[in-house]
Every structure is written in structure tokens, then in C-alpha cells.
Amino acid sequence: MFRRICPSKLARQTPERICVIKPSALGDIVQSLPLLPVLKKTFPAASISWIINRELADLVVGHPCVDEVLLFDRRGGWREWSRLLSDLHARRFDMVFDLQGLLRTGVMTTATRARIRVGLQTAREGSSLTTNCVIPDSGKVVPAHARLWRVAELLGHGDLTRQTQIVVSNADRDWADGVLATLPRPVIAVHPGARWETKRWPVPKFASLLTRATQAWNGSTIILGSRSEQPDADRLQQMLTTPDSQHRVLNLAGQTSLKQLSALLARVELVVSNDSGPMHLAAGLGTPTLGLFTCTSPTRSGPAGTQHELVSTTVACAASYCKRCPHQGTAQLACLTELDVERVWHALQRLVSKNGITLARRNIRAA
């Protein structure tokens, strides 16, 4: 049994090699990124490695505080898994932060043989048995962004400004600037997709909301999403571009890399999104974001920052975190029905107002 480490003594350690284990998901990784400058400030002499799913690696590649990116492929089979564990075993890490807290990340933590293995109170699937230093006050009742920031607070740097840095190339920035140069401002980026059916606010409601926004402020809409979300994106595009519509719409679903997506989200005026990775990415980059919450809680799962607006359903089973609706009949997906366009429209107006409606009007006149 390895020796327990008192959390209050964590900042006094002098590790030479640190490993951050946070393979997924997009939104969770984005909310973890602000810890990198904290780790570098606390342990300036240490090198930092990050274990991440291959398809999400662009979120950390090039980050000034990351010395090495270790790729994990869930579909790689036993050979890929064995290679990763051997690599972790050979690198002789001194300190590991398992920010995921699942069985597979617990196995990764064990493979490092690190003397100091830090975890959160939300650890599941037995992964807590692989750590010897648990961050206090990091349970499920604590909002996700605050739970992760407990690490910074414990290391004595909770007063630092959160920095969500995605390093993009000049080519990525030029691409985003080129896209936006063709569109009337303000530009609203919208992400109508989500992995869970209980998170996906209906496409017709998105269409109604964006039509109102265009009538009020002119401008244009960019539709975003992954390849698997293209059907909803295409449907939304069709609804917004009827023969009598003057709505300028650009559908980029399935066409952007993570770095291109980051460059674009950092340059639009507003983002409207279901509770999803792109919502957290936009919010982390500082873009005013309207987040829609049905089966999840805006308090537990929403982004940090007062510049955003988070609106949720009020049905009895709200924030149940069910991936599929357990109800039948008229109660099925009632959370999506109850969250009406009128309430979301008012939230969008508040978002525009508190983030500078005069800027939006100036952009409209210039267009």
C-alpha cells in the first residue's frame, strides 16, 4: 500500500515530471485547461504531460505549459492500450493528477508508479483506490468548473485568473477571419447538437429563435457541429433559408478541426448552444454564450463566468442526467417541450444587453 499524502502538503512537493490524466470529453477538458498555468506556477521546474483521446488532442497540442501530449485511443484495442501503459511505466512520473476518475484512468494512474497520485472525490469505478491524495470539497454537489479549480485553490493559486488557452496557427486564424469576412455582423454561432437526445433542444425552436434574432439585429448565423450532428445542422439550415428568407446562414457542421472551431468561436459575437463541448469551448474562450439546459443542471454543469446566460427547463425531472428519457406518452422529453422559445429569446436579449448591445448595433449599421 502506498503512503497517503496530505492534500495541504501538495504544494510543498518538488516533482520533476507531472502527468495530467484527462482523456475526455471536450467540455471537461476545456474546464481543466485553466489548471495548466497553475501547475506551471506551482512547480516551475517540472515537465508536464497530458493524456488525451486522440481526436481531442488539438485542445492541448502547442499549449505553452504542456511539454508532452500522450495519445489514448479507446478503439485501439489491446495492443494500443498495452503500448500506452508501457510508456507510462517507463516515464517515471513523480506526480499524477487523475481528473477523470474512471476505471481506465485509474489503471493509467497505477501504471505511472508515481509517488503522488492526486484524484477528486467524484472518482468512480474503483479509481479512488489508485490515488493517495484526494482534493477536498470536490464532490458531485460542487459545480464542475469549481470542483476542478479546487486543485488551484489547494496549491495556493485560487486567486489567479482562469486561462483557457487553445493554441491555433496563423492558418487557422486566417481561415476564421476569411469565413467571417463574408458574413454580415453580428454573427451568432449556433450548436444545435448534443450526444444525448435529452440535451438536444428541438431544431424548429432553434430556427424560431434565430429568425427572431435576425429580425431584431440583422447579422448572420453559423451552424456548427460534428459529422454525426450534420442531419440536425442541415435541417436547421433548411428552416432558416426558405425562399422568402433574408437570413444569411453558413453551415460548417462536420467541416472544422478543433483548432479551426476554436479560432471561429473566439471571433463571433455570440454563441447559442445546448449543454455540450462547443458551449464550454466558446465560454472558456470568453465569447458570450447562451447555454440551454434540459436534462442537466446549469449550476452543476454550466461554465464559469457572469458574462454568459444559462437557461433551463422547469419540469420536475429537470437535471436528472438521463441520457434517454425514461418517461412515456406526453411526459416523454417534456423537458424539451417545456423550455419554450419565448424564455430562450429573453435570455438571448439579456446576453446581448449585458455584453454590449451598442456594439451589436454598430456592427449592424456597418454591414
Q: Which of 246, 249, 205 is nearest to 224 (CA)?
A: 249
Q: What's the grid cell of residue 260? A: 479551426
- pLDDT on residue 362: 34
DSSP 290-349: EEEESSS-HHHHSPS-TTSEEEE--STTTT---SS----GGGTTHHHHHS-HHHHHHHHH
DSSP 38-67: HHHHHSTT-EEEEEEEGGGGGGTTT-TT-S
Residue 193 near residue 225 (C-beta atoms within 8 A): yes
- pTM value is 0.94
Residue type, 313: T
- pLDDT on residue 356: 80
pLDDT means per 10 residues, the chain with 367 residues, are 86 97 97 98 98 97 97 87 94 97 97 97 96 96 96 97 96 97 94 96 98 93 97 97 86 97 97 98 97 96 95 95 92 94 97 72 31
- Burial code of 86-112, b = ≥16 C-beta within 10 A, e = fewer? eebeebebbbbbbbbbbebbbbbbbbb
Contacts of 268 (CB under 8 A, 6+ apart): 180, 186, 187, 188, 189, 222, 287
- pLDDT on residue 316: 92
Q: What's the grid cell of residue 112? A: 505511472
Instruction: Strands of 14-171 (E only): list them.
Output: 17-21, 47-53, 68-72, 95-98, 116-119, 133-134
Residue 132 to residue 35: CA distance in whole angstroms: 20
Residue type, 279: M
Element (H, E) at 198: none
3-state secondary structure of 165: coil
Measured between alpha carbons, how far is residue 149 from residues 31, 97, 160, 226 in Å? 9, 13, 10, 29
For the range 141-147, what are the long-range contacts, defined as Cβ-Cβ under 8 Å and sequence gap of 24 or more? 141/300, 143/299, 143/300, 143/301, 143/302, 143/304, 144/28, 144/31, 144/300, 144/301, 145/31, 145/302, 145/303, 145/304, 146/304, 147/120, 147/122
Residue type, 354: K
Contacts of 249 (CB under 8 A, 6+ apart): 220, 221, 222, 223, 237, 240, 241
Q: Which domains does the chain have, with CATH numbers?
A: 7-154 (3.40.50.2000), 170-366 (3.40.50.2000)
- Percentages helix, strand, coil for the chain (3-state, rounded to 5) are 45, 15, 40
Residue 7 near residue 108 (C-beta atoms within 8 A): no
3-state secondary structure of 132: coil
Residue 27 near residue 284 (C-beta atoms within 8 A): no
Residue type, 208: S
